Every structure is written in C-alpha cells, then in structure tokens.
Amino acid sequence: AVTRTFSIIKPDATRRNLTGAVTKMLEEAGLRVVASKRIHMTREQAEGFYAVHKERPFYGELCDFMTSGPVVVQVLEGEDAVKRNRDVMGATNPADAAEGTIRKTFAESIEANTVHGSDSEENAKIEIDYFFDKDEIVG
Ligand code: CMP
C-alpha cells in the first residue's frame, strides 16, 4: 500500500550542502516528497522529538547535535514508505550500513548520520504530526 513516513535531513548534511543529494537518493528509491521545510529545531523540539531516548547516555549530545544547525523535515510517500526509507537510509551506524545507502555514502558517525527515518507506521504518524500541520502536506 502507498503509505507515508517522516524523514529528517540532519545538520551534518545541511552543513555540507547535501540536501539535494540526499533527497535525490530518496526519490530514486521510489519515495516522493509531499512536504518539506527547513527549520532550526529548538532545544524543546529536539528533546520532545527524541523523548523515547531520554534515558540513553547519548540523549544530551543527540539534542545538542540536532540543534547545532538547520535540518530539513520531510514527509515521504510511497509503496511501503517506512521500510523503503529504512532500506535506502541504511544502518544507524554508518560503519554497519550497506553500500549504496545514504548513511554509507554520506554519514560521518553514528550521531552525525545524515538522516532520520521513522521506524514504524505508528511512529511515522506521530512524527509527521509533531512537525507538520495537515495543510502543509500536499500529496
Ligand atoms: P535517529 O534515527 O535519529 O534516532 C536516534 C539517534 O540517536 C540515532 O538516529 C543516532 O543518530 C543517534 N545516536 C547517537 N549515538 C547513538 C548510539 N550509541 N546508539 C544509537 N543511536 C545513537
């Protein structure tokens, strides 16, 4: 089925002017950008978005990193969008990511790993709602 997922192009990628290159890989993987905006996340936004990781040792640094520069938040649509996006992103740690994936191609480290993507359809809905109003998504 055609579904939606949520993506973030992270500060390491915007800093290196890779927004277009990353988006091209998403599109070539069969995903369509149906919403997109460049924002500088507030500390509150980052902490809320990553609240599930609050108890993890990397939570503070993760929130520092995600607020260190602009990000591009996107809604992606396509056949089985969550899995399709996860496949093209590659493993969280670029050292483990497969050839041809976004993280293998561009990521600098497990933290500066270029992209975020929702890990389930349920979380995709929550994450899309966290950053987008209904009228900002044009399918
Ligand atoms: P993301 O999909 O955005 O969700 C949580 C993020 O935490 C993850 O990608 C990584 O970039 C980041 N992170 C930093 N350190 C770690 C770690 N040790 N294990 C897992 N994720 C980490």
pLDDT of residue 64: 98
SS3 track for the chain: CEEEEEEEECHHHHHCCCHHHHHHHHHHCCCEEEEEEEECCCHHHHHHHCHHHCCCCCHHHHHHHHCCCCEEEEEEEEECHHHHHHHHHCCCCHHHCCCCCHHHHHCCCCCCCCEEECCCHHHHHHHHHHHCCHHHCCC
The percent of residues above 90 in pLDDT, for the chain, comes to 100
| Nearest protein Cα to ligand 1, atom 11 | 111
Which of the four pLDDT bands, split at 50, 70 and 90, describes residue 59?
very high
| Nearest protein Cα to ligand 1, atom 13 | 111
pLDDT of residue 1: 97
User: Which atom of ligand 1 is closest in space to residue 8's alpha carbon?
Assistant: 3
Q: Verify whether ligand 1 is closer than 6 Å to residue 92 (CB atom).
A: yes
Ligand 1 pocket mutation pick from 7, 58, 82, 118 by most atoms within 8 angstroms of CB: 58
CA of 135 to the centre of ligand 1 (A): 30
The average pLDDT across 8-28 equals 99
User: Which ipTM was obtained for this model?
Assistant: 0.95
Rounded to two decimals, the pTM is 0.98
